[in-house]
Amino acid sequence: MFAITGTPGVGKTTVAGILENRGYRVADLLAIAEYYGCVDESGEEIEIDLDHLTELFRPDDFNFDFVEGHLSHHVAEKCIVLRCRPDVLERRMRKKGWNDKKILENLEAEIIDYVLIEALRTCSEVHEIDTTFLSPEEVANAVESIYGGRKSFPSGNIDWIGEMGDGIYRYLRP
């Protein structure tokens, strides 16, 4: 099972839907967490008890090709991290109506490679795809090629700090 992970807004759910339509078995991490009783819905946002989930999770309990979610790399050995340039990611999040605080939090995570670093710590195999200028179908094709062992997208080749230059500071203002 491969995880499809990344900062919110990079295209995980869209790509997972395309893969599911192509016949792949895809699970949402939230559904897996609910299965194990590791979801807390008492606050403003739904929270997953990640420590409890990783303790209980058994891949043999499921028959999926992919698990999707921005924390999915915690339950899979192999992982595909989707990435997106911060300026494009910001536009995507604004289209979704996200508030400035949530946008800033997620842009910071993308800029500092937060999900990638976590994935490198928790997974034995990590691929990284820049979704910035790819259609969702092209990203799904890339994911399929990784899953089928036909292509590799090595991690560590995406650097938003270098790409953004001085423009990075506009994202980090409170």
| 14, 136 Cβ separation under 8 angstroms | yes
Residue 151: helix, strand or coil by DSSP? coil
Residue 68 parent element (H or E): strand 66-68
On the question of pLDDT at 166 being above 70, the answer is: no
Q: How far apart are CA 165 and CA 163, in angstroms?
A: 6
On the question of pLDDT at 124 being above 60, the answer is: yes
On the question of pLDDT at 170 being above 80, the answer is: no
On the question of pLDDT at 78 being above 90, the answer is: yes
Domain extent at residue 30: 2-172
Q: How many domains does the chain have?
A: 1
- Whichever domain contains 51, its CATH number is 3.40.50.300
On the question of pLDDT at 42 being above 80, the answer is: no
**Angle, helix 100-111 to helix 114-122, in steps of 10 degrees:** 50
Q: How far apart are CA 70 and CA 4, in angstroms?
A: 8
